[in-house]
């Protein structure tokens, strides 16, 4: 187990945050006020936990779990199911799990319809590097992002996996300026699911 993860677990055992908690998982450098910001790599996170492992939060202690452009970095099958089991365990009944993931449906639609503007825009916004100078280079980058992306998601697939894990009321939602990063708005699919009451 990673030393950063062990240290964070010990710190959480000594100074357990009081609930109901709001967890911002895979936060990177984007820290949310009033949330417990968790990221294994980013030194600015409140806790440097490896959330592919068991989470050191009590059953039913969390009100909301949020992540943005993180879920696609988990292996499926394997890490995704473990993540969702832990999410269900720590959420209170009726608690919300919300994620924003790269919108795979839009990039495949743009490729199929030969919409070059979509790919030009992705490069201009810095989502894809300049060497992605053909639509298929951009599609490949979307799916792999070097070796960082492990799985691509659309709403239908994400909803199915959430429901199989035990979440209910899965829905695709609009961008929320109070929650989501404006820089990723155009290229993101936002999906919610709830722990059963």
Tens of pLDDT, residue by residue over 160-192, are 999 999 999 999 999 999 999 998 898 899 999
Which of the four pLDDT bands, split at 50, 70 and 90, describes residue 15?
A: confident
Dihedral of CA atoms 177, 97, 73, 101 in degrees, nearest 10, equals: -40
| Confidence (pLDDT) at 186 | 87
pTM of the predicted structure, to 2 decimals:
0.93
Using one digit for the tens of pLDDT, what is the confidence trace for 44-55?
Answer: 999 999 999 999
Q: How many CB atoms lie within 10 A of CB 165?
A: 16
């Amino acid at each position: 187990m990673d030393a950063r993860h062990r240290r964070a677990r010990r710190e959480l055992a000594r100074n357990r945050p009081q609930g109901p908690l709001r967890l911002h998982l895979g936060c990177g450098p984007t820290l949310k006020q009033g949330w417990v910001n968790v990221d294994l790599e980013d030194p600015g996170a409140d806790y440097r936990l490896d959330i592919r492992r068991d989470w050191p939060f009590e059953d039913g202690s969390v009100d909301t779990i949020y992540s943005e452009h993180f879920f696609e970095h988990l292996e499926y099958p394997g890490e995704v199911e473990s993540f969702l089991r832990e999410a269900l365990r720590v959420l209170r009944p009726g608690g919300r799990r919300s994620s924003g993931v790269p919108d795979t449906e839009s990039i495949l639609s743009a490729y199929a319809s030969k919409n070059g503007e979509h790919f030009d825009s992705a490069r201009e916004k810095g989502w894809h590097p300049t060497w992605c100078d053909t639509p298929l280079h951009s599609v490949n980058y979307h799916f792999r992002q070097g070796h960082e992306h492990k799985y691509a998601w659309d709403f239908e697939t994400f909803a199915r996996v959430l429901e199989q894990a035990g979440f209910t009321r899965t829905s695709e939602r609009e961008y929320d300026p109070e929650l989501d990063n404006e820089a990723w708005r155009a290229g993101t699919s936002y999906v919610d699911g709830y722990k059963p009451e």
